[in-house]
């Protein structure tokens, strides 16, 4: 059963050659090496550092940074349960424990025969068909006790994953409400043809007229971004598509890439044409690795159709091609400068801005970083013009927006609405009755209580990157805040102190409250820490990390109060037990050798 581990001399040279011995492709090299070697042993790290002529510490820092790169054996089958709050609401914890029991394993532990490990990971973007897991980066959705048993049997049989029945790996689109983007037929090439006919200047004018704003959450005006990049003085420019859809509860980009990839890639080519870039990069989150073959096939098809490559659509001076980079499990890489660092083969730590990517991005060159959905919207504008586009949605939020609806409702999935839709309309459409809360825009977003369901999804009111998680009657909003506190503590990149320490402290206090040892002291401290992180963290991750705790404290205070002790303070440590070791060593049991429990 055990295959001989291939030697480094056999494995590394072809990988290095494929990536041109280029240290800026280190993350990709490490991923490829790990695929064949199962994990990145110290010898591998040393060999790679030598071959790439970079310090060993640089390779090591990468391996340590990314959750999906391992410096220790993780088993031939690496199973990771998605642990978003929506997975928990669907009962992932019981399934997780069931699997651990079947394999006689502790979380994260590798079985003695090196066969399997079972752990938890952040949201894998399958919230509408959870609970979900990843097995060697392949998703399996809609887990049930029976399905978990079948998976256990297959693992124990040792059957290679490639030979497993394909129905396990089926991922559904679940498009429930379609408008312009999800509903209209799209003929590949039409948008690009329209843009070419217009010319770059006119295309930019249409884009600015449309007032399209970025769909990744921040809402920066796309036309301005493209114009800044176009005007930046440089010989080379890049278009980056941000498909690192890591925000818990968001899965729209997965569907767009799964079923609308031509449109995404055409949007990138369109951007390339408009700003004068010849190279595009799609940064695909590791959790979506299963889509790689499909995406590569689409790229090949588009090259054959003359929509990518040299002299696109016969335009002699328009060359553009797209390369796909895989992430390695780091939420922070959704931040555009962290993403660029990762593209350059480094640990994904956000850069100091300015300079902004539009003037100094990938490899120091002007770079446009756009969300998957934004690029799709650009094709609409190329086809129909800015004035047509501007007529949809609200004044400051034009066009439609795709919402990833999950949680307690009858029909989870994708809903495309014009911006300005009321939260209550979305709830009615997806069959969510008596919801007690909606968490909009993921863990970093906003928690709405029923009296706010009249509010609107738009940059003017409730901005969103797309996540829309619904909590029905009987749900405990403290559990959501606790889940997100764990999430942020795990995903903080560790670069700046406010976030690294702040998320850790908030997590500790939330668990203290969960254990029934919390007091008002912790509540006050968490509010203080939230403010500190919000105002001083280096990037958006830290600035928004305290939002869920803050919102739930404001709107669902009883969920906290019933866990709090009515005293001034309770130590998290058991002081009496903390003396036990010294007591035993000294052989004492007198009254002074004990500490009462009172604070």
Residue 168: other Cβ atoms inside 10 A: 17
x/- site string to other proteins, residues 556 to 575, per CB under 8 A? Answer: ------------xx-xxx-x
Smallest gap from residue 142 Cβ to other proteins (A): 44
If one asks whether residue 598 binds other proteins (CB under 8 A), the answer comes out as yes
Nearer to other proteins, 197 or 586 (CB): 586
If one asks whether residue 582 binds other proteins (CB under 8 A), the answer comes out as yes
Task: Round to whole Å and give the CA distance between 204 and 275.
Answer: 8
Alpha carbon distances (Å) from 312 to 317, 319, 475, 583: 8, 6, 53, 80
H or E element, residue 537: none
If one asks whether residue 581 binds other proteins (CB under 8 A), the answer comes out as yes
Residues whose CB is less than 8 angstroms from the CB of residue 157 and which lie 6 or more positions away in sequence, other chains included: none
Nearer to other proteins, 10 or 598 (CB): 598
If one asks whether residue 167 binds other proteins (CB under 8 A), the answer comes out as no
If one asks whether residue 595 binds other proteins (CB under 8 A), the answer comes out as yes
Q: What string of DSSP letters covers 258-327?
A: HH-HHHHHHHHHHHHHHHT--EEEEEE-GGGGGGHHHHHHHHHHHHHTTSSBSSGGG-TT--BEEEEEE-
- Scanning 46-54, 115-123, 268-276, 576-584 for contacts with other proteins by CB under 8 A, the matching segment is 576-584
Which residues pair with residue 415 across a beta bridge? 177, 403
- Scanning 109-117, 231-239, 294-302, 587-595 for contacts with other proteins by CB under 8 A, the matching segment is 587-595
Closest CA to 269 of 309, 228, 221: 309
If one asks whether residue 586 binds other proteins (CB under 8 A), the answer comes out as yes
If one asks whether residue 17 binds other proteins (CB under 8 A), the answer comes out as no
If one asks whether residue 580 binds other proteins (CB under 8 A), the answer comes out as yes
If one asks whether residue 597 binds other proteins (CB under 8 A), the answer comes out as no
- Scanning 454-462, 542-550, 555-563, 582-590 for contacts with other proteins by CB under 8 A, the matching segment is 582-590
x/- site string to other proteins, residues 511 to 540, per CB under 8 A? Answer: --------x-x-------------------
Strand-strand pairing, 321-326 and 279-284: parallel
Nearer to other proteins, 234 or 501 (CB): 501
Greatest Cα pair distance, the chain, in angstroms, is 92
Smallest gap from residue 572 Cβ to other proteins (A): 6
If one asks whether residue 599 binds other proteins (CB under 8 A), the answer comes out as yes
If one asks whether residue 579 binds other proteins (CB under 8 A), the answer comes out as yes
Classify the C-alpha dihedral 222-226-228-229 as positive or negative.
positive
Task: Round to whole Å and give the CA distance between 485 and 5.
Answer: 39
x/- site string to other proteins, residues 34 to 63, per CB under 8 A? Answer: ------------------------------
Task: Round to whole Å and give the CA distance between 579 and 289.
Answer: 51
Task: Round to whole Å and give the CA distance between 138 and 170.
Answer: 10
Which residues contribute to the site for other proteins (CB under 8 A)?
A: 519, 521, 568-569, 571-573, 575, 577-588, 590-593, 595, 598-599
């Amino acid at each position: 059963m055990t295959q001989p581990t291939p030697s480094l001399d056999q494995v590394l040279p072809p990988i290095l050659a494929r990536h041109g011995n280029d240290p800026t492709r280190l993350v990709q090299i490490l991923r490829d090496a790990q695929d064949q070697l199962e994990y990145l042993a110290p010898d591998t790290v040393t060999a790679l550092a030598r071959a790439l002529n970079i310090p060993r510490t640089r390779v090591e820092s990468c391996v340590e940074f990314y959750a999906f790169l391992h410096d220790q054996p993780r088993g031939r089958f690496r199973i990771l349960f998605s642990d978003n709050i929506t997975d928990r609401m669907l009962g992932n914890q019981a399934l997780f424990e069931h699997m651990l029991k079947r394999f006689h394993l502790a979380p994260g532990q590798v079985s003695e025969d090196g066969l399997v490990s079972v752990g938890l990971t952040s949201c894998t973007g399958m919230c509408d068909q959870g609970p979900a897991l990843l097995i060697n980066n392949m998703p399996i959705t809609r887990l049930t006790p029976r399905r978990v048993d079948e998976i256990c049997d297959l693992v124990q049989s040792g059957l290679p994953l490639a030979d497993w029945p394909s129905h396990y790996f089926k991922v559904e689109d679940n498009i429930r409400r379609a408008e312009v983007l999800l509903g209209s037929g799209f003929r590949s090439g039409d948008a690009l043809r329209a843009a070419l006919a217009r010319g770059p200047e006119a295309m930019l004018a249409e884009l600015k007229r449309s007032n399209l704003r970025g769909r990744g959450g921040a809402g920066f005006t796309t036309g301005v971004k493209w114009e800044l990049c176009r005007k930046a003085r440089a010989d080379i420019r890049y278009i980056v598509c941000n498909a690192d859809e890591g925000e818990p509860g968001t899965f729209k980009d997965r569907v767009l890439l799964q079923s609308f990839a031509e449109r995404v890639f055409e949007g990138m080519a369109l951007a390339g044409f408009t700003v004068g870039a010849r190279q595009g990069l799609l940064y695909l989150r590791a959790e979506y690795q299963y889509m790689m073959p499909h995406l590569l096939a689409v790229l090949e098809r588009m090259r054959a159709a003359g929509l990518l490559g040299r002299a696109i659509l016969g335009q002699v001076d328009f060359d553009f091609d797209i390369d796909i980079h895989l992430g390695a499990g780091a939420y922070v890489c959704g931040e555009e400068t962290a993403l660029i660092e990762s593209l350059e083969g480094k640990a994904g730590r956000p850069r100091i801005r300015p300079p902004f990517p539009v003037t100094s991005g990938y490899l120091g060159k002007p770079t446009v970083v756009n969300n998957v959905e934004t690029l799709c919207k650009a094709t609409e504008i190329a086809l129909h013009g800015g004035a047509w586009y501007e007529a949809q949605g609200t004044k400051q939020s034009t066009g439609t927006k795709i919402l990833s609806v999950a949680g307690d409702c009858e029909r989870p999935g994708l809903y495309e609405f014009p911006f300005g839709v009321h939260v209550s309309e979305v709830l009615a459409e997806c069959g969510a009755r008596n919801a007690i809360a909606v968490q909009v825009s993921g863990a970093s977003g906003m928690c709405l209580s029923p009296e706010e369901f009249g509010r609107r999804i738009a940059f003017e009111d409730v901005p969103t990157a797309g996540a829309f998680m619904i909590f029905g009657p009987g749900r405990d909003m403290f559990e959501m805040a606790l889940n997100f506190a764990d999430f942020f503590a795990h995903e903080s990149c560790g670069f700046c102190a406010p976030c690294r320490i702040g998320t850790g402290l908030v997590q500790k206090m939330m668990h203290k409250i969960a254990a029934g040892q919390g007091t008002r002291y912790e509540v006050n401290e968490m509010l203080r820490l939230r403010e500190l992180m919000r105002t001083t963290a280096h990037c958006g991750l830290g600035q928004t990390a305290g939002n869920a705790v803050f919102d739930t404290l404001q709107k669902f205070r009883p969920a906290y109060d019933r866990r709090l002790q009515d005293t001034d303070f309770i130590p998290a440590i058991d002081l009496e037990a903390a003396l036990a070791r010294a007591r035993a060593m000294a052989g004492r049991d007198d009254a002074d050798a004990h500490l009462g429990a009172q604070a």
